[in-house]
C-alpha cells in the first residue's frame, strides 16, 4: 500500500533535509553536497544560500573553501555556474554531459561548431591548461593559435562561455582564482586534490539521482530532469535511470500525486509535522531552483512572475510553511517584505527574529518590517 502525506508535511521534510528547519551545524561543503551544488552566477547569492542554512555562518568561509579545494566553481546544471564538491560534483557533470547537446543538429546549426571541431577544441584547451591557469583572453589566444580553430576562438569571446560549457561538463576545465576583475580557468584536478573525476554516465546517474531525491523529495523523474538540464536532457534515458533505482526509493501519495523519496527516509517523512518556520532566502536559492518555480505547491501560479522574473532572475523569497509566501528586498531602512495577500503570516516576533538573523548575515542595521512595492529584479544565473 502506498503511503500518503500532505504537501505541508512534504515541504516541511524538504526544509529539514536542506538545513532550513532546523538550521544546520555543518561545514560549507556539507551544505553544498546536500543541495547537489549551489548556483553561483551571482557570488553573493551563493554565499547567502549557504550562510542562511547555518547556525553560525562565518564570513568568507565560501571563498576559503574554494581556495582550499574543498569546493570547485564550474558550469554545471542547466548550464549555470555552480559551486560543487570535488568528490561528488563529477557525477552531476557526467549526467549533464550525457545529453551531448553540442552534437545536436540544432546546436551545430546555431553555433556553427561541428562535433569534430568540438573535439579539437577540447584537446587544445586541455593541453593549454595543463599545469597552467589562464585568463579567458589567454585561453582564447591558445585556441586561436590552432589554424583549424580560428572561428571557434572568436566564439569563445562570449561572456556566457557557451562553447566552453561542454568542456566543463566533461571535466576538462573549471574556474580558477580571479585576477582582478578577470576570470581564469584551470583543470579541476589542479583546483582540488580531492577531485575524483567525471565517471561514466551509467555510474554517475545513480549518484546524482539519489542525491537529488534525498534533498528535494518527494519528487519525480521529470522534476529531476528539469532541475538538471531544463529540458535539454534525453528524457527517455533519464526516466530509465530513475526507474532503475525504484528499489532504492519509496513511492508516496502526496494529496493525490505520485512522488518518490529515498526508502531510508520514508519513516521519517511520515512522522514529519508541518512547519511554521519562516525563512528569508536569497535570490536563486536552491530550495526554489531545485523544485522549480513552475511547481505550484511551492510557488502559487498567480505569484510566479514575482519570483521568476525577466531574463531568468529569481527573487529573494520568504518561506512560510515551506511555501513561498512573499519576496523581500533591501531598501534604505533595511529589509522590506512584500507579502502575498493570501499568506498567513507568522507572529510579528517570529518575523522580526528571522529578519534580524538575515540582517546580521548581511551586516545590516536592525531592520523593520514594512510592506512595499514589488521587488526589483535581481541578477540571473
Burial of 129 (0-12, 13-18, 19+ CB in 10 A): buried
Averaged pLDDT score across all residues of the chain: 93
83-104 pLDDT, tens digit each = 999 999 999 999 999 999 999 9
Note the pLDDT of residue 331: 87
Q: What cell does 292 get?
A: 522549480
233-278 pLDDT, tens digit each = 678 899 999 999 999 999 999 999 999 999 999 999 999 999 999 9
Cα–Cα distance, 224 to 238 (Å, whole number):
9
Note the pLDDT of residue 154: 87
Write the CB contacts of 335 (distance below 8 Å, at least 6 apart in sequence). 280, 328, 329, 355, 358, 359, 364, 367, 369
Note the pLDDT of residue 374: 37
- Residues 290-314: b if buried by 16+ CB within 10 A, e if exposed: bbbbeeeebbbeebbebbbbeeebb
3-state secondary structure of 259: strand
pLDDT confidence tier of residue 166, bands split at 50, 70 and 90: very high
Cα–Cα distance, 58 to 278 (Å, whole number):
22
Cα–Cα distance, 175 to 135 (Å, whole number):
10
Given a contact cutoff of 8 angstroms between Cβ atoms, the answer to whether 63 and 12 are in contact is no
285-332 pLDDT, tens digit each = 999 999 999 999 999 999 999 999 988 899 999 999 999 999 999 987
Note the pLDDT of residue 159: 61
133-155 pLDDT, tens digit each = 999 999 999 999 999 999 899 88
pLDDT confidence tier of residue 370, bands split at 50, 70 and 90: very low
Is the per-residue pLDDT at 362 higher than 90? Answer: yes
Least confident of 11-25, 130-144, 363-377: 363-377
Note the pLDDT of residue 368: 47
Amino acid at each position: 500500500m502506498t503511503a500518503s502525506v500532505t504537501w505541508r508535511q512534504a515541504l516541511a521534510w524538504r526544509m529539514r533535509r536542506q538545513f532550513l528547519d532546523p538550521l544546520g551545524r555543518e561545514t560549507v561543503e556539507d551544505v553544498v553536497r546536500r543541495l547537489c551544488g549551489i548556483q553561483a552566477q551571482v557570488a553573493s547569492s551563493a554565499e547567502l544560500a549557504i550562510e542562511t542554512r547555518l547556525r553560525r555562518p562565518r564570513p568568507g568561509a565560501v571563498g576559503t573553501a574554494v581556495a582550499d579545494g574543498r569546493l570547485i566553481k564550474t558550469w554545471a546544471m542547466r548550464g549555470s555556474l555552480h559551486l560543487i564538491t570535488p568528490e561528488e560534483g563529477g557525477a552531476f557533470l557526467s549526467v549533464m554531459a550525457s545529453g551531448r547537446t553540442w552534437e545536436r543538429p540544432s546546436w551545430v546549426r546555431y553555433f556553427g561548431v561541428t562535433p569534430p571541431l568540438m573535439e579539437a577544441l577540447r584537446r587544445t584547451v586541455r593541453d593549454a591548461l595543463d599545469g597552467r591557469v589562464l585568463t579567458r583572453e589567454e585561453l582564447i589566444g591558445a585556441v586561436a593559435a590552432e589554424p583549424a580553430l580560428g572561428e571557434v576562438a572568436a566564439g569563445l569571446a562570449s561572456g556566457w562561455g557557451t562553447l566552453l560549457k561542454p568542456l566543463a561538463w566533461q571535466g576538462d576545465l573549471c574556474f580558477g582564482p580571479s585576477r582582478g576583475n578577470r576570470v581564469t580557468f584551470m583543470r579541476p584536478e589542479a583546483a582540488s586534490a580531492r577531485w575524483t573525476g567525471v565517471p561514466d554516465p551509467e555510474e554517475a546517474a545513480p549518484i546524482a539521482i539519489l542525491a537529488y531525491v534525498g534533498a528535494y523529495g518527494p519528487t519525480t523523474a521529470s522534476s529531476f530532469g528539469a532541475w538538471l538540464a531544463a529540458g535539454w536532457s534525453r528524457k527517455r534515458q533519464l526516466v530509465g535511470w530513475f526507474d532503475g533505482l525504484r528499489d532504492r526509493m519509496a513511492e508516496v501519495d502526496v494529496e493525490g500525486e505520485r512522488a518518490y523519496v529515498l526508502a531510508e527516509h520514508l519513516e521519517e517523512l511520515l512522522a514529519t509535522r508541518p512547519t511554521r518556520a519562516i525563512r528569508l532566502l536569497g535570490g536563486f536559492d536552491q530550495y526554489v531552483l531545485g523544485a522549480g518555480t513552475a511547481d505550484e505547491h511551492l510557488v502559487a501560479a498567480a505569484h510566479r512572475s514575482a519570483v521568476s522574473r525577466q531574463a531568468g532572475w529569481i527573487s529573494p523569497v520568504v518561506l512560510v510553511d515551506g511555501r513561498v509566501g512573499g519576496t523581500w528586498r533591501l531598501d534604505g531602512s533595511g529589509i522590506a517584505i512584500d507579502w502575498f495577500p493570501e499568506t498567513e503570516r507568522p507572529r510579528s516576533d517570529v518575523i522580526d527574529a528571522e529578519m534580524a538573523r538575515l540582517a546580521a548575515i548581511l551586516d545590516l542595521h536592525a531592520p523593520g518590517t514594512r510592506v512595499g512595492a514589488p521587488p526589483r529584479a535581481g541578477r540571473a544565473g
